Amino acid sequence: MKKFFIILIIITQISFFQVINAENNLPCAKSSIVMDVNTGRILYSSNSALKLPMASTTKIMTVLLAIENCDLNDIVTVSRNASIQEGSSVYLREGERMRLSDLLYCVMLRSGNDAAVAVAEHISGSVEDFAELMNNRAKTLGAKNTNFMNPHGLPNDNHYTTSYDLALITREALKNKIFADIVKTKKHTVSELINEKKYLENKNKMLWQYPGGDGVKTGYTGKAGQCLVSSATKDSWQILSVVLNCSDIWKGSTELLNYGFSNYDNIKVVDKSKIKINVNVLKGKEKAIQVIPKDDLYAPIKKIDNDYEKLDHVENLPKDAKAPVKKNSKAGTLEIYADNFLLGHVDLIYNKDVESSDIFYHLKNIVNTFLL
């Protein structure tokens, strides 16, 4: 009887966690995150600070650095070291020459480890020096729990990241149009400078399976497990997801992206046509002037029942404006916060000119004009 109750308790617990998992659409991953590409706001996370190997999702940084540091028309000569890399390959041969732009498609669409090393050596001369470049760039992005040892992601105990850091890196990469165009490409053919054409088809099934899917990179090693960074755009709103060591990367990533799009709306949180702030003018021919936002601002806002979460607006403006004031000159900034997270800011500008009423100001201008 005692054994029966123990088994019953175990079954109940398993069923409970399955219900929780189903209700919250949580993927079976050791670490995961959903992030808004525009603002960097985290829409969902689970163990996002856990350091884990990331396999070939490493190549997101490799390609970003190539775009930032090289001319894509550069001709790259494949070294012996690049040609003998193990694992995923596009079968580059020692001495083979390829345009850098085509090499980047080999890295991202077919996950060529040989292509990744060829890129690294072209940029830095060696894998070791390129890893240093990768780590320096990661630090500038705030990826503090990441360490790169190579450009491809093959196992190394000191090669790791977190889903949060990888999201930061991917967000930066997706802002680059060249990168964004590469990772959403389903098929690419390399024909120039090589003896035999290479037909590349993207390994990322999300480009076909998920509506609006437009990136980013798959990854797998025995140590890292299945990894996937995905992105999708709906109504001009792009979000990304990361799963590290996931039992089903396609299902898990789909659930994460669905969660982001279902639980948040991308809303105009600053409407430049509706916000007008009055500011006093010192020594002006007019006593007050209006300050308006220079641009609109969109951000993901969480749905709560039939309403949205509360936003905080912080105006950074001087107490008074001193004449003369020029139309469209910057007056300050307007910051928008949600749950203490800075969604973004826009410049506040003056909506018209206001001349000075100070006679000494005008006399000074007359003297300056005369001296010129």
pLDDT digits (tens, 9 = 90+) for 341-368: 999 999 999 999 998 876 555 445 554 5
Same domain, 185 and 87: yes
Same domain, 255 and 279: no
59 is catalytic: yes
Residue 257: pLDDT above 90? yes
Residue 2 lies in a domain: no
Instruction: Return the structure tokens found at 295.
Output: 């641009």
List of residues 6+ apart from 126 with CB closer than 8 A:
120
Same domain, 235 and 307: no
- Of the residues 217, 235, 264, the one at which a domain ends: 264
Same domain, 133 and 279: no
Query: Of 32, 48, 111, 241, which one is the catalytic site residue?
Result: 111
89 is catalytic: no
Please state, in angstroms and rounded to a whole number, the distance separating the CA atoms of residues 334 and 243: 35
Which pLDDT value is given to residue 283? Answer: 86
Residue 25: pLDDT above 80? no
**Which domain CATH number covers 300?**
2.60.410.10
Residue 369 lies in a domain: no
Residue 1 lies in a domain: no
Same domain, 254 and 300: no
Query: Of 31, 32, 45, 59, which one is the catalytic site residue?
Result: 59
- Of the residues 264, 295, 319, the one at which a domain ends: 264
Same domain, 289 and 322: yes
Query: Of 56, 101, 230, 241, which one is the catalytic site residue?
Result: 56
Q: What is the mean pLDDT of residues 175-191?
A: 97
DSSP character at residue 266: E
Residue 12 lies in a domain: no
Residue 6: pLDDT above 70? no
Residue 23: pLDDT above 60? no
Percent of the chain at pLDDT > 90 equals 83
Same domain, 333 and 220: no
**Which domain CATH number covers 67?**
3.40.710.10
Each residue of 293-309: pLDDT tens digit? 999 999 999 999 889 99
- Of the residues 210, 238, 264, the one at which a domain ends: 264
How many distinct structural domains can be found in the chain? 2
Same domain, 192 and 338: no
Same domain, 205 and 327: no
Same domain, 64 and 212: yes
56 is catalytic: yes
Residue 193 confidence class, pLDDT cut points 50, 70, 90: confident
Look up the pTM and report it: 0.88
Same domain, 192 and 278: no
Please state, in angstroms and rounded to a whole number, the distance separating the CA atoms of residues 292 and 276: 5
Instruction: Return the structure tokens found at 330.
Output: 């910057």
Same domain, 119 and 241: yes
Residue 180 lies in a domain: yes
Of the candidate ranges 67-71, 156-160, 285-289, the one whose mean pLDDT is the lowest: 285-289
Which pLDDT value is given to residue 14? Answer: 34
Residue 359 lies in a domain: no
CB 224 within 8 A of CB 245: yes
Residue 159 lies in a domain: yes
Q: Determine the structural domain holding residue 199 and report its residue range.
A: 29-264
Which pLDDT value is given to residue 158? Answer: 98
Please state, in angstroms and rounded to a whole number, the distance separating the CA atoms of residues 145 and 138: 9
Residue 361 lies in a domain: no
